[in-house]
Amino acid sequence: MDNSIIFIAGGVLLGLLIGFIVAKTLEKNNASKLIKGAKKSAASIIKEANNEGESIKKDKILQAKEKFIELKAEHEKVILARDKKIAEAEKRIRDKESQISSELAKNKKLNDEVEAKIKDFNHRLDILDKKQVEIDRLHKSQVEQLEVISSLSAEDAKAQLIESLKGEAKNDAMAYVQSTVEEAKLTAQQEAKKIIINTIQRIGTEEAVDNCVSVFNIESDDVKGRIIGREGRNIRAIEAATGVEIIVDDTPEAIILSCFDSVRREVARLSLHKLVTDGRIHPARIEEVVKKTKKQIEQEIIEVGKRTVIDLGIHNLHPELIKMVGRMKYRSSYGQNLLQHSREVAKLCGVMAAELGLNPKLAKRAGLLHDIGKVPDAEADMETPHAILGMQWAEKFGELPEVCNAIGAHHDEIEMKSLLSPIIQVCDAISGARPGARRQVLDSYIQRLKDLEDIAFGFQGVKKAYAIQAGRELRVIVESEKVDDQKAADLSFSISQKVQTDMTYPGQVKVTVIRETRAVNIAK
């Protein structure tokens, strides 16, 4: 029993051992097969990798060769361009050297010629000096002989000769001036009249005249008491706030506003209108309304300036100049509204410049701005002539030199440097000289006529003198025994120069000298 169990156990162990050996053998065979397959796959992969590496290597080598060839070609192009530039530079240098050599040769030749001429000139100067000494000696000798023959000294003879020549020269000069003036009139007067008449006829203007007094109309006289206020405090407040004198008198349904400043008068008129319409009239309300009205007027001034420059077709004007143009609405010159006058001058200048072939837009610009100096901002500006002040403002705000010169020269304060300047001067005179444009005080008008006649009476031979055509013409009647025809022309010129230098007047004054000889006999 025990032996069979041992026997069985030994068989089992033997079977297990045999199975283990068989399994190991099979596993070894499978492992060797796997190793062989892996080695075969690895060899195949290595082979493929080697083939692919060889292919990539050949491609890279080929690309490197192509890149090298491309870089070499570009490098050769750069070298060729550089060689070409160097060759061109060398050629230019050779040309410059040859040019410089020729210039040096010319300069040397010129220097030699100049030196030769200098030597010749010095030689001639020496000869001239010798001849001058000889001439002076001969002249002195001749003068001494003439003094002995004529029994006159050289100074006396010279004085007599000068005196005789002076009269002849004066007559010749007057004759020449007269002929020149007549010739200029024949050639220029017709064309000038045509241009001026065409210009005036093409411009339609309004004859606007501003006074120093405004009338404020009211519905009833009861409003006057409310405007005056208790013990006059309302009217004093209005006068203090606006700077305008308010006159309340017996005039029915009207209050007078008096002030030289048109802006202040307008502020006072609008403020009174608002106060009367609102019904609340007391000092605090007055100050508030006046302050608002001043702002409204300032805005209106800017709008007027903008409308004016747009109407005239003027562009790129500085805002400060636009404001000054608007302020001209509330200024007057000799009773003529300054803005209307400036608009009229601008239109005249534009037409006249177009007729003369100049720039009409530039002429309009100068014509509009020519009197901006009449609206000064500060008290210090009052001491500067308005033409110079306007020119300074135009320069300050970037206007062209032609425009600035035209503004400054339209009253001859400075020299005219462009053709625009005389056009502005002429158009300003046309605008101010037309009938009804400006208003003058009767006394000053009569005094001007009297001064004209007095100037004429200041000359010898004047018998009568009459200032006619509102002082535009001075007719002088001379005594025929004392003044001949030549002296009449001389007298006309002398009187016109005297009027021009001694008097201030707008426009022109025509001086006509009349000389006549009357033969009177009586038949009995």
Region 461-475: mean pLDDT is 85
Q: Kindly report, residue by residue over 362-399, the tens digit of the pLDDT.
A: 999 989 888 888 886 655 566 678 888 888 888 888 88
Q: CA dihedral defined by 386, 443, 440, 321, rounded to 10 degrees?
A: 20
Q: What is the mean pLDDT of residues 281-290?
A: 83
Summarised one tens digit per residue, pLDDT across range 12-71 is: 788 888 888 888 888 877 777 888 888 888 888 888 888 888 888 888 888 888 888 888
Q: Would you list the DSSP string of 324-377?
A: HHHHGGG-EETTEEHHHHHHHHHHHHHHHHHHTTS-HHHHHHHHHHTTGGGS-S
When mean pLDDT is compared across 255-259, 325-329, 391-395, 486-490, the lowest value belongs to 255-259
DSSP structure class, residue 459: S
Question: Across residues 506-522, what is the average pLDDT?
Answer: 81
Of 243-252, 301-310, 416-425, 487-496, the poorest mean pLDDT is in: 243-252
Torsion angles phi and psi, residue 376, rounded to 5:
-70, 150
pLDDT confidence bin for 476, thresholds 50/70/90: very high
Helix (H, G, I), strand (E, B) or coil at 277: helix
Task: Give the residue from 387, 389, 366, 391 showing the smallest Cα distance to 378.
Answer: 389
72 compared with 150, residue with greater pLDDT: 72
Instruction: Name the token pair of 86.
Output: 């160097």
Interatomic CA distance for residues 523 and 5, integer angstroms:
213
Q: How far apart are CA 147 and CA 169, in angstroms?
A: 26
- 459 vs 445: which has the higher pLDDT: 459
Average pLDDT over the chain reads: 80
Kindly report which listed range (163-167, 476-480, 482-486) carries the lowest average pLDDT score. 163-167
User: Which of 491, 482, 497 is CA-nearest to residue 513?
Assistant: 491
* CA pair distance 277, 81, nearest whole angstrom: 91
Token digits of residue 312: 């005239």
Residues 6+ apart with CB under 8 A from 188: none
Over residues 62-103, the pLDDT tens digits come to: 888 888 888 888 888 889 888 889 999 999 998 888 889 888
Q: Is the pLDDT of residue 210 over 50?
A: no
Model pLDDT, residue 208: 38
pLDDT of residue 190: 65
Q: 381 versus 330: which is more confidently predicted? A: 330
CA distance 347 to 255: 38
Least confident window among 118-122, 128-132, 245-249, 273-277: 245-249
Predicted confidence (pLDDT) per residue in 224-238, tens digit: 777 777 777 878 888
Q: Closest by alpha carbon to 444, among 334, 353, 315, 310?
A: 334
Stated as kind and residue range, the H or E segment containing 85 is helix 2-150
Is residue 323 predicted with pLDDT exceeding 50? Answer: yes
| SS3 of residue 256 by DSSP | strand
Q: What is the DSSP string of 171-187?
A: HHHHHHHHHHHHHHIII
Please report which confidence band the pLDDT of residue 418 belongs to, taking 50, 70 and 90 as the band edges. confident
Rounded CA-CA distance 388/233 in Å is: 44
pLDDT at 335: 65
**Can you give the pLDDT at residue 436?**
52
Residue (of 481, 471, 459) closest to 508 by Cα position = 471
pLDDT at 316 over 80: yes
